[in-house]
């Protein structure tokens, strides 16, 4: 498909379009010189978009998921898109975005969807080599639940993560913990610090520092509930500049209370780095 007047493929019936597969298309120059047009736009349920080649100026977005549930975007090559290779809007739930080549797009993905599934690096914070504040943070080794006990301002735990060669853009970082306290109404605060640098680069490159980040969970927290924090480029633009083969240092740092939210007081254990 070449030089289409509007979106080259536009699926917009939310009910009748279930289980459509869009595959093996070559889509170039969507919009035919008009601005605001897209290779593929979806407003539907359970659509599979796979093995397509999409791009060419002035294509605005290679794949635009506007509305829908359980849409899969996998194995596509997307290039030269002015706004982004893939855009996932807030009206999209449970999209799966896997193994796409977005190398020709300055912005690889704009993800505002709910529960979007992305390739993920997962791991745990070590239960040793921790410190900060006046004394070291004490790891909890022999209890269940367990983790690194951060309950004072500037206490921290850290981990080093080699990013793979397949990373095109880091989308978000998550940190997981068990709450030590009860909080009926508000969030728990955390400072999240990171640095990413490649071979022969100074370790402090791509400095990320997000202070007073509220937990996703707001109120209704009881002792040992699972809680977590999520940061994206909207919190610190440097997240979007992390690159393939960077060596990433990630720190969870205790924060004091800042009304109405409470101070950090939790057992820290896990992290996720989501990417395309």
pLDDT in tens, the chain (276 residues): 655 555 688 887 656 556 799 999 998 876 554 445 788 999 999 999 999 999 886 678 899 999 999 999 999 999 988 888 999 999 999 999 999 999 888 899 999 999 999 999 999 998 765 454 444 454 554 567 888 999 999 999 999 999 999 999 999 999 999 999 999 999 999 999 999 999 999 998 889 999 999 999 999 999 999 999 999 999 999 999 999 999 999 999 999 999 999 999 999 999 999 999
pLDDT of residue 35: 45
Residue-range domains of the chain with CATH: 9-111 (no CATH), 120-275 (2.60.120.260)
pLDDT of residue 81: 85
pLDDT of residue 37: 74
pLDDT of residue 126: 84
pLDDT of residue 5: 55
pLDDT of residue 31: 57
pLDDT of residue 231: 98
pLDDT of residue 19: 77
pTM of the model: 0.89
- Note whether 52 and 77 are within 8 A (CB): yes
CA–CA separation, 265 and 150 (whole Å): 6
């Amino acid at each position: 498909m070449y030089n289409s007047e509007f979106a080259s493929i536009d699926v917009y019936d939310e009910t009748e379009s279930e289980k459509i597969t869009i595959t093996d298309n070559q889509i170039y120059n969507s919009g035919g010189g008009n601005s605001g047009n897209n290779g593929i736009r979806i407003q539907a349920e359970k659509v599979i978009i796979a093995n397509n080649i999409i791009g060419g100026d002035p294509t605005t977005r290679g794949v635009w998921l506007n509305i829908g549930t359980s849409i899969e975007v996998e194995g596509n090559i997307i290039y030269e898109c002015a706004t982004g290779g893939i855009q996932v809007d807030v009206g999209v739930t449970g999209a799966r975005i896997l193994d796409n080549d977005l190398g020709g797009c300055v912005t690889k993905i704009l993800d505002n969807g709910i529960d979007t599934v992305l390739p993920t690096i997962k791991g745990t914070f070590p239960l040793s080599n921790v410190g900060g504040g006046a004394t070291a943070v004490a790891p909890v080794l022999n209890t269940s639940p367990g983790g690194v006990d951060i309950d004072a301002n500037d206490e921290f735990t850290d981990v080093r993560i080699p990013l793979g060669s397949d990373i095109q853009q880091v989308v978000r970082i998550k940190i997981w913990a068990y709450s030590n306290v009860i909080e009926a109404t508000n969030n728990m605060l955390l400072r999240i610090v990171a640095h990413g640098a490649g071979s022969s680069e100074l370790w402090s490159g791509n400095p990320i520092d997000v202070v007073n980040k509220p937990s996703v969970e707001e109120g209704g927290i009881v002792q040992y509930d699972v809680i977590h924090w999520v940061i994206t480029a909207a919190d610190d633009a440097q997240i979007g500049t992390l690159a393939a083969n960077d060596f990433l240092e990630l720190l969870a740092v205790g924060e004091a209370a800042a009304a109405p939210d409470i101070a950090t007081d939790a057992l820290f254990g896990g992290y996720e780095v989501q990417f395309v």
